[in-house]
Amino acid sequence: MDSLKSLSMTQAALSWVSKTGAFVPTPSTIRNSISKDPKSQFPAESGRYHLYISYACPWASRCLAFLKLKGLQKAISYTVVKPIFERTKETDQHFGWVFPSSSTEEAGAEPDHLNGAKSVRELYELGSSNYSGRYSVPVLWDKKLKIIVNNESSEIIRMLNTEFNEMAENADMDLYPSHLRARIDDVNEWVFDAINYGVYKCGFAIKQGPYDEAVTKLYNSLDKCEEIFAKQRYICGNELTEADVRLFVTLIRFDEVYSVHFKCNKKLLREYPNLFNYTKDIYQIPGISSTVNMEHIKKHYYGSHPSVNPHGIIPIGSNTNYFAPHDRDRFNN
């Protein structure tokens, strides 16, 4: 990696670090909603919306997981970016998500046939002349109005769960059911802070204190999950919910990336019997495995964070078989 590119990508990563050396994420800012109400500004219509995602990004991957679980592939199209950050414009030093120039350039990624954009940054600039936030994925795009509807994954998955049921193949699947919402919200809160973002707090900490605090909270929460899964199949009981999808996207990346790249090495996922079997269980749900591209995941993390991995070397990894048998269906008896 050339020194200028390395410096620019390092500066991008360090922009999320506070003066105390702790990782502080930047919130999403485009927060419009799609509604089943045909009179709304963004009505749920088959063929109108498009998702831009990265297989590498856990936040984008959970949107793709909902798309597959609900059976919305015919109603909502999607495009996958390349895994490693590249320069998004020749006029400045910004590096971010880009599209391949052809369908054969990067396996699993494809050009932006919808808008002809070269990068996700261009999508934001197409959709808004005064946008000043991060050029992140996922992007939920309105083909009709040619603007971004929403770039907050936690809100996108809720829309996919309920607003497109008239065109969903699995309309009866409710991943945020009313009788479990309080429990789901509670689980989401501590999983998000300690696990989903906890691994990032470990990986991007630039001082020992913030790392120690984050890694302690991370493993306390993983231990808590291990205890929960000793008693029930899913995180909120014996019913699959959005909380499981949100937890899964971090767990599936844990041994291959976070344990090495983000210094989360106190204990591997596969050393937790219940957590490991739980991850295999979720992975084997129809549609979920197609949202996991470990090649993209490893290329992105090890190749896009020179402040953490300056030479971009990708470790060989464990090549874990997540299709191996698990024992989680015992809770259905």
Residue 243 is predicted with a pLDDT of 99
Instruction: State mean pLDDT over 74-89.
Output: 98
Hey, what are 191's tokens?
């999983």
pLDDT band at residue 2 under the 50/70/90 scheme: low
Residue 220 is predicted with a pLDDT of 98
* Topology of the domain covering 178-288: Glutathione S-transferase Yfyf (Class Pi); Chain A, domain 2 (1.20.1050)
Closest alpha carbon to 79 in 5, 154, 32, 141:
141
Residues 6 or more apart from 52 whose CB is under 8 A from it? 60, 78, 79, 81, 112, 120, 123, 137, 138, 139, 141
CB 21 within 8 A of CB 207: yes
129 burial class (0-12, 13-18, 19+ CB within 10 angstroms)? exposed
**Beta strand ranges found along 173-276 (DSSP E):** none
Residue 1 is predicted with a pLDDT of 54
Sheet holding 139-142, edge to edge: 77-80, 49-53, 139-142, 147-150
31-167 sits in which CATH class? alpha beta
pLDDT digits (tens, 9 = 90+) for 101-155: 999 999 999 999 999 999 999 999 999 888 989 999 999 999 999 999 999 999 9
The letter for the amino acid at 249 is V
| Range in 28-32, 176-180, 267-271, 286-290 the model is least confident about | 28-32
Residue 127 is predicted with a pLDDT of 93
Instruction: State mean pLDDT over 167-190.
Output: 98
First-last CA distance in the chain: 54
CB 26 within 8 A of CB 133: yes
Residues acting as catalytic residues: 57, 200
pLDDT of 79 higher than 90: yes
Closest alpha carbon to 50 in 81, 75, 82:
75
- Is residue 201 classed as helix, strand or coil in its secondary structure? helix
pLDDT digits (tens, 9 = 90+) for 201-216: 999 999 999 999 999 9
Hey, what are 113's tokens?
């046939």
Taking the C-alpha atoms of residue 257 and residue 215, their distance in angstroms, rounded to an integer, is 15
Residue 130 is predicted with a pLDDT of 87
pLDDT of 291 higher than 60: yes
pLDDT band at residue 188 under the 50/70/90 scheme: very high
Of all residues in the chain, what percent carry a pLDDT higher than 90? 89
pLDDT of 299 higher than 70: yes
Closest alpha carbon to 155 in 143, 145, 163, 165:
163
pLDDT of 16 higher than 70: no
Instruction: For the chain, give every domain's residue range.
Output: 31-167, 178-288
Hey, what are 133's tokens?
């936030």
